[in-house]
Amino acid sequence: MSEVGGRLPRRRFLAGLGTLAGLAGTAALAACSDAPPAGAPPGPSTPGPPPPTTTSTAAAPAYTGEAALLALGAAVSGLAGDLLGQAAAGAGQGRYGAVPAVVSSFLSGAAAQHVAHAEAWNRLLVAGGRPAVTGAPLTVEPQLRGRLTGALAPVDLLGLAADLTGTVAATLTVIAGGVTEVAAVTLAAGAAPVAAMHGATAGFLLGRPPTAPADPTAGALGPDALTV
């Protein structure tokens, strides 16, 4: 699909942006899980007939052109919301030892805002006639989820949060320059600084210097990081 074909009508974008003010903390991302994707091939079994020799065509990407950038925004925000939300839940269950209240409140608060961002990106997609992104279909998802699984202490959660929110901020910064529809630019421009604020707070709690990256797009994910 051409870039033009990937763009969405401005009116539908604006309708999709909606209001974000009441969204913080209201919902968990619907389908962030470790489950294999629907239709994944079954594991090995007893020897059977050879595989069919008919060729199959790989499914076309669900998102192309500007819609791929919206999907990327939804996926990366959704991943941050899910992982930070799980970190907060695990902290509440004592999985990481004694977690200071300030760390728990940070994780919960940041997670809620990322979830709200993911919902806003998805509203733009749906308003443009594209499917909403479910889960976190990103190439980096297993590695980042592995870091959460391997976390042992609050400092590990804060380190993950600092890195993850840095990736989100960098990605949304690139998206801000890559999209053209006003509602998408507005969302990227408004959400990227909030993700950066999460990173700054995590850095403060870790005792790191308050230095902004010299290249604010370093580590940004591109549409090729999408697995849908």
Smallest gap from Cβ 220 to another protein, in A, equals 10
Q: Contact region for another protein (CB under 8 A) — 30-38, 121-129, 134-142, 214-222?
A: 214-222
The answer to whether residues 186 and 13 touch, using CB atoms and an 8 Å cutoff, is no
Answer yes or no whether residue 4 interacts with another protein by CB under 8 A: no
Region 46-75 residues binding another protein, contact defined as CB under 8 A:
none
Give 205 or 226: the residue with its C-beta nearer to another protein. Answer: 205
Q: Kindly tell me which residue out of 27, 152, 153, 206 binds another protein, with binding defined by CB under 8 A.
A: 206
Answer yes or no whether residue 104 interacts with another protein by CB under 8 A: yes
Binning the chain into helix, strand and coil, the percentages to the nearest 5 are 55, 0, 40
Beta bridge partners of 62: none
Region 177-196 residues binding another protein, contact defined as CB under 8 A:
177-178, 180, 182, 185-196
The answer to whether residues 87 and 143 touch, using CB atoms and an 8 Å cutoff, is no
Q: What is the pattern of x (binds another protein, CB under 8 A) and - over residues 122-161? A: --------------------------------x-------
Distance CA 208, CA 188 (A): 26
Q: How far is CA 191 from the centre of its chain?
A: 12
Three-state DSSP at 85 gives helix
Give 77 or 137: the residue with its C-beta nearer to another protein. Answer: 77
